[in-house]
Amino acid sequence: MLIVMHHSATDEQLKSVTAAVEAMGLIAEPIPGSLRTAIGVLGNQGYVDDTSIRELPGVREVIHVSKPYKLVSRDFHPVSSVVDAGGVKFGDGHPPVLIAGPCTVESEEQMIAAARLVKKNGAQMLRGGAFKPRTGPHTFQGLGVEGLKLLRQAGDAEGLPVITEVMRIEQLETICRYADVLQVGARNMQNFDLLKEVGRSGHPVLLKRGMSSTIEEFLSAAEYIVAEGNSRVILCERGIRTFEQATRNTLDLSIVPLVRELSHLPIVVDPSHATGRRNLVGPMAKAAIVVGAHGIMIEVHPDPDRALCDGAQSLTPDGFGKLAVELKRLQSFLETL
């Protein structure tokens, strides 16, 4: 931590800041500059709460060097983690995993068709929402437990592990019974109690980046899960909010190589929610593979024009089949690069 003093700070103010640092059991090292003095703080084991420092007289700014996350950081865990989720492996040394399925579980027929489609095209995991977060209360909110059963049944029929979103702690036990992987959605990325319980469950988790969160906040959210002893966390970039109105969100692909540098956790990309437009899903999925994503999560619907939710961003069966082939060929090519 670095404490930058005001240009006009007095010696007395400098002394009282030094004293406050030392009262925290830390070491204060003054660094006099031509215009102002800064005070380096040494001896801390991690992020320091600067509350008692920040507004002392004469202090202009407090600059943090340590990050609020630690367990998920590559500094503390240099070797890349491989997460086993329902028998499927996410991480370095494994080809990118293709997760696919409809936005929402709608019916047995739909899920059976979806699972067949997913399996036939070589995807390794089936997705489908049973509990749906919707901006307003007057929209379809998902089939609930019935949806979970249909998802499980469809996955079992094709031998596919399944992933579904958990929105509240009380659902956790039930969802863990039916799903191989828990998804925590963007709106819940800072629902810290949910993160803790998901951590305690020990179940593999796919954590989506919050709609306007920074990488630091994203990794700090993952830290909540890992701090409970659950290191089976898969990060997921799904687009961030920007001023652009032409796409649903803006997919931030540069986060992939950056997270691979800062953290040992695997990261996958969801181009369907990010773009919200069917014709952008393919190009962005391929780009995600190229930047090093450990997996791709795609919405596909046996009949997207009749989907109850997000049909506009769901691929058709044909479109999905074509993309799955292209992703596989691209991946093979990249291995030769």
Q: What residues numbered 15-34 form the site for a second copy, per CB under 8 A?
A: 20, 29, 31-34
C-beta of 45 vs 93, nearer to a second copy: 45
Residue 333 touching a second copy (CB under 8 A): yes
Q: Which residue has the tokens 């997207």?
A: 304
211, 319, 321, 331: residue in contact with a second copy (rule CB under 8 A): 211
Distance CA 57, CA 237 (A): 42
Work out whether 68 is an interface residue with a second copy (CB under 8 A).
yes
By beta-carbon proximity to a second copy, the closer residue of 28 and 123 is: 28
Q: Does 330 bind a second copy (CB under 8 A)?
A: yes
What the block records as the tokens of 28 is 């204060």
Is position 335 an interface residue for a second copy (rule: CB under 8 A)?
no
**DSSP string covering 148-198, please?**
HHHHHHHHHHHT--EEEE--SGGGHHHHHHH-SEEEE-GGGTT-HHHHHHH
Minimum distance of a second copy from residue 13's CB (angstroms): 13
Q: How many CB atoms neighbour CB 277 within 10 A?
A: 15
Selected binder of a second copy within 65, 109, 177, 229 (CB under 8 A): 65
Residue 229 sits in the site that holds a second copy (CB under 8 A): no
Q: Cα–Cα distance between 269 and 51 in angstroms, integer? A: 37
Please report whether residue 105 would count as binding a second copy according to CB under 8 A.
no
- Coil/strand/helix, residue 227: coil
- From start to end of the chain, where are the E strands? 2-5, 27-32, 37-42, 59-63, 83-85, 88-90, 97-101, 125-127, 162-165, 181-184, 205-208, 233-237, 267-269, 295-299
Exposed/middle/buried for residue 51 (C-beta within 10 Å: 0-12, 13-18, 19+): exposed
Site for a second copy in 190-209 (CB under 8 A): 190-194, 196
d(CA 290, CA 283): 11
Nearer to a second copy, 155 or 223 (CB): 223
Residues in 72-101 that interact with a second copy by CB under 8 A:
75-76, 78
DSSP assignment letter at 312: G
Sole binder of a second copy in the list 24, 56, 82, 176 (CB under 8 A): 56
Q: Is 134 in the site for a second copy (CB under 8 A)?
A: yes
Does 227 bind a second copy (CB under 8 A)? Our answer is yes
The structure tokens listed for 161 are: 């592990």
* Least Å from the CB of residue 303 to a second copy: 10
The distance of closest approach from Cβ of residue 201 to a second copy in the complex, given in angstroms and rounded to an integer, is 15
| Using rule CB under 8 A, residue 145 touches a second copy | no
| Residues within window 230-269 making contact with a second copy, judged by CB under 8 A | 240-247, 250-258, 261-262
- Residue 159 tokens read as 């031998």
Site for a second copy in 285-314 (CB under 8 A): 286-288, 290-292, 304-312
Contacts of 309 (CB under 8 A, 6+ apart): 103, 104, 129, 132, 140
Instruction: Give the C-alpha distances (Å, rounded to integers) separating 181 from 4, 108, 122, 174.
Output: 46, 20, 19, 13
Q: According to the binding rule CB under 8 A, does residue 188 interact with a second copy? A: yes
Q: Which stretch binds a second copy (CB under 8 A): 90-98, 144-152, 154-162, 215-223?
A: 215-223
